[in-house]
Amino acid sequence: MFFRTAFAGALLAVLTCANANAALRISNDKGGQIGPYLDAYTSLRNSGERVIIDGPCLSACTIVLGVVPRDRICVTRRARLGFHAAWNPGSDGRPVLSRAGTNALWSLYPGHVKSWLKRRGGLKPRMVYLSGAELASMYRLCD
């Protein structure tokens, strides 16, 4: 019995350490519906994993910035974040802006991202991109 308890404790300690050192790499994420991203990033935040943004992170993907702590996110020189207003498909399949979805996105972004977006007119139907030196001034570069 003691051996089982000690083994289980040791296994848990190893898994916890491995989990804390794990990282999710975002390299070509075109986004999607807000809900699944919010759920996934909440689980990621709770796991203790780090995030490496290493390419396009567009649309709903960008909510990672507001859900995962800033000190667990790093960006590479290839990182490119794309922001736009939320939309739903209309009856004809064309995008229809969603005020509720856009408000939900806005509420998730941290203050420094909101400030950057405000200087560019806020969340609009057209994508606006954050990359290069501007992005590196907000998030640390990955080692």
pLDDT digits (tens, 9 = 90+) for 6-61: 333 333 333 333 455 689 999 999 999 999 999 999 999 999 999 999 999 999 99
pLDDT digits (tens, 9 = 90+) for 93-103: 899 999 999 99
* pLDDT at residue 2 tops 70: no
Residues 6+ away with beta carbon under 8 Å from 55: 26, 27, 28, 29, 76, 78, 79, 80
Closest CA to 95 of 130, 122, 41, 59: 59
Residue 3: per-residue pLDDT: 35
Each domain of the chain, given as residue ranges in start order, spans 23-141
> Sheet containing 50-53: which strands, arranged edge to edge?
23-26, 50-53, 73-75, 140-141
Q: How confident is the model at residue 77 (pLDDT cuts 50, 70, 90)?
A: very high
22/86: higher pLDDT: 86
Q: How confident is the model at residue 63 (pLDDT cuts 50, 70, 90)?
A: very high
What CATH number was assigned to the domain covering residues 23-141? Answer: 3.90.226.10
3-state secondary structure of 61: helix
